[in-house]
Chains A and B, each alone.
Chain A
């Protein structure tokens, strides 16, 4: 069965790019427009991995991660945080919140696939 990736980003362009890339590689992709939407979808669907933006309305990426990790089904799901920022603070915060890793925007389609393969095996 193909693995399901949840992509959370308020930018339709980024979501589109992620969806196109991952679907082409055989993954199933669920889209969410912000952290709250992402949380609802992550809890309503079995997801194998999450790629989330940090800066979003309603609930940001860190908030999403913390909330998801509170739930039994949210433990152990690998989460990759996207950010344009390369500061260490966000990286540390994301780790503390429970993110597995992070990826700096901009990234290429190849990079995205490499990351997802690394996360999902």
Chain B
């Protein structure tokens, strides 16, 4: 089988395994749901069938027993129980290894199979497993075959009366038999009824003929494999010619005109009048195309280049003041925007695909740790760019693991409080503007800010007199040095590897926050951009340099009042509709020489949950920002998340608002002030 076919099969297998796992996990809570049982059975059946087709015979053989168990369940012979589900999940986990031909030196697979078979036949040794899945013959069991004849033989056959309706074509059979050397072919009209009882759509005929001696029963079986025919091969005594019996001779003539032609499909048949005009199902085969992910990436790159060139063209058109060129440029702008949106939509994948993995993780962990946990998911259909989804898996696994391992109390501890016996872990996803919020909430013991603080001081992350808000204290667990090797008790090992989680999320231009209440649980919120490739940007100018701020974080723009033009020692605040908003001077932060013009603007941005102003020299406008990654050399420059190419060919740095604000605050002495927005 070609590589292409094998790749298609692997792709399909991935979907099937995902569906299989989800089905098995759902069965845990709904063991009597026959719809689920049927779905699991079908998935297994397809894995087996397709696997065998594409040469994965070991896989097919393995699945066979697995499938048989669910066939029994389907038939109501075997109930769904925890043991079956445990084994089934274990068996499911072996499938990728089987496909990749990984060896199984410990006989783990056989063990799982034996256990599965043991469930079906308590007390019996496991049956030989392989045959049905790997069976390669193309025929059903043979009818009683006479031994191969030694002399010229005689064949008779008769079709069932409904054969024409099934699409049988006796003339094809006769041609084939002629090809085998059949002679003296005679029609057998003995079964023909009288005209008044004759249904012309039915088949009443039989045939007889002589065949060369060397024709074997196997060859004939090949001929008849597709017809519901009674046939017999008899050694070559001169057979009685077809008796005309009580058949009506003249009807035979009519019947020789091949009735099959009448029943063949009409050449131009549209749906017949009686046929209901059903809507095409949305997921009909023709409506979906699978495309390798790299091609989507290439398409996105091309769209990015197009957007940059489009900006260039618009700029040129404006400079040249040529109305025709300007109109064309505007049309291209619209087209490019449409193309961009369509391409980005194509790359969107629901987080459902991720969640399936997590269900399993939560189940396994809660079993292992003996902490019963209910895992609920909200907003599975929320879509994100596929690259974001891929990179999100590890951080979320980490957060979920921490939630169960450290956040959740033991059963005994829960019993002492008024909490439900079963803990709750909730994963939710929702859109918020150009961002997606993913929350992992547990109803466990919560985090203790005092202990985290003490630990951070002990580890030298902060000095003892640093003033921090609660959310800043929780954010300490994301610091690289926080609680590494040391054994952490109920303070929770949330620090282990959490810095990696933060790095990953930030590499996706996202951010994360922890809220926690002692005794009530913890919520970790991830904010992620919808897409990584092109964003709506606000172009600003500071000391002659242009920068881009992601529009998603921009709330409003105000003028800097004249009385605020000079920095104050105590920190700068604006009064915006009765609320104090702290602001940062970008000239000061970037250490720019020279004086700003008389009119400066303040861009109010959201940084996490807070509103912060950024003072800039000038607002240039909005633009489609195609994000280009910074080189590795610039990895340490955290306030800059990337760069973009402007219409005039120059480069503007894309600012990371969260880091920019953090940087500004740490430059401002020394209070780390927090102002409620």
List chain A positions with a Cβ less than 8 A from chain B.
10-17, 20, 31-34, 36-37, 39-40, 43-44, 46-49, 53, 55-58, 69, 71-73, 75-80, 82, 84-86, 88, 91, 95, 98-107, 111, 115, 118-119, 121
Least CB distance from B15 to A in Å reads 9
Q: Does B342 contact A (CB under 8 A)?
A: no
Which among B54, B140, B260, B265 has the greatest number of chain A C-beta atoms within 10 A?
Answer: B265
Q: Which residues of B contact A (CB under 8 A)?
A: 1, 5, 8-9, 11-12, 39, 41-42, 45-46, 48-50, 52-54, 60, 132-133, 135-141, 162, 164-169, 171-172, 175-176, 201, 225-228, 260, 263-272, 274-275, 278, 280-281, 283-286, 290
Nearest first, the 6 closest Cβ-Cβ pairs linking A and B are: A78-B167, A76-B263, A101-B226, A106-B52, A31-B285, A13-B9
Question: A13, A37, A57, A99: which contacts B54 (Cβ < 8 A)?
Answer: A13
Given contacts A73-B269, A103-B138, A56 and B260 within 8 Å (CB-CB):
no
Is the Cβ of B132 less than 8 Å from the Cβ of A98? no
**Residues of A contacting B41 in the complex (Cβ-Cβ under 8 angstroms):** 55
Closest A residue by C-beta to B223: A118
Is B138's CB under 8 angstroms from A12's CB? no
Rounded to whole Å, the gap between the CB of A105 and the closest CB of chain B is: 5
> A72 — which chain B residues lie within 8 A by C-beta?
272, 274
List, in ascending order, chain B residues with CB within 8 A of A36's CB. Answer: 278, 281
Report whether B167 and A49 are in contact in the complex, using a CB–CB cutoff of 8 Å: yes
B166 CB, min distance to chain A CBs, angstroms: 5
Inter-subunit contact A100/B137 (CB<8 Å): no
Q: Is the CB of A15 within 8 A of B285?
A: yes
Bound complex: CA A91 to CA B139 (Å) = 10
Min CB distance A113 to B, Å, is: 12
Interface contact B140-A13, CB-CB below 8 Å? no
Nearest chain A CB to B128 CB, angstrom units: 15
Q: Report chain A residues within 8 Å CB of B228.
A: 95, 100
Chain A contacts for B60, CB-based, 8 A: 84, 106
Cβ-defined partner of B284 (8 Å) among A14, A33, A86: A33
CA distance A54 to B162 in the complex (A): 21
Q: In whole angstroms, what is the CA distance A32 to B1 when docked? A: 23
Q: Would B167 and A105 count as touching, CB distance under 8 A? A: no
In the bound complex, what is the Cα–Cα distance between A20 and B278 (angstroms)? 28
- Bound-state CA distance A59–B162 (Å) is 24
Residues of B contacting A85 in the complex (Cβ-Cβ under 8 angstroms):
132
Q: How far is the CB of B38 from chain A (nearest CB, A)?
A: 8
Given the complex, which residues of A lie within 8 Å of B1, measured CB to CB?
17
Contact B166 A79 (CB under 8 A): yes
Question: Chain A residues with Cβ under 8 A from B45's Cβ?
Answer: 55, 84
Most chain A C-beta atoms within 10 Å of own C-beta, residue among B49, B139, B201, B281: B49
- Cβ contacts under 8 Å, B176 to chain A: 118
Is the pair B140, A104 in contact by a Cβ cutoff of 8 Å? yes
Chain B interface, >50% SS class: loop
Q: Are A79 and B167 interface neighbours, CB within 8 A?
A: yes
Whether A71 touches B274, Cβ cut-off 8 Å, given contacts A11-B46, A12-B290, A13-B5, is yes
User: What's the nearest-Cβ distance from chain B to residue A77, in Å?
Assistant: 5
Interface contacts beyond A76-B264, A105-B53: sample of 15 additional A-B pairs, CB < 8 Å, sorted by A: A13-B9, A20-B5, A33-B284, A43-B271, A46-B268, A48-B265, A71-B275, A75-B165, A78-B168, A84-B48, A84-B133, A95-B228, A98-B165, A101-B227, A121-B175
User: What distance in Å separates the Cβ of A121 from its nearest Cβ neighbour in chain B?
Assistant: 4
Q: Which residues of B contact A100 (CB under 8 A)?
A: 166-168, 226-228
Q: Are A73 and B12 in contact (CB under 8 A)?
A: no
Q: How far is the CA of A75 from the CA of B266 in the complex (A)?
A: 10
A36 to B285, CA, bound (A): 12
How far, in angstroms, from A85 to B269 measured CA to CA in the complex? 34
**Which residue of chain A has its CB nearest to the CB of B56?**
A106
Q: List 26 A-B contacts (CB under 8 A).
A: A10-B46, A11-B46, A12-B12, A16-B8, A31-B285, A33-B284, A33-B285, A37-B280, A40-B281, A43-B271, A46-B267, A53-B49, A55-B46, A71-B275, A73-B265, A73-B269, A77-B167, A84-B48, A85-B132, A88-B140, A98-B166, A104-B140, A105-B49, A106-B52, A106-B53, A115-B226
Nearest chain-A residue to B45 (Cβ)? A55
Residue in chain B with minimal CB distance to A12 = B12
- Closest A residue, CB atoms, query B64: A84
Are A11 and B12 closer than 8 Å at their CB atoms?
Answer: yes
B304 → chain A closest CB, angstroms = 31
Contact B275 A73 (CB under 8 A): yes
Residue of B nearest to A108 (CB): B138
Residue numbers in B under 8 Å from A43 (CB-CB): 271-272, 275
Given contacts A17-B5, A76-B164, A101-B225, contact A46 B135 (CB under 8 A): no
Task: Indicate which residue in A20, A31, A95, A107 contacts B53 across the interface (CB closer than 8 Å).
Answer: A107
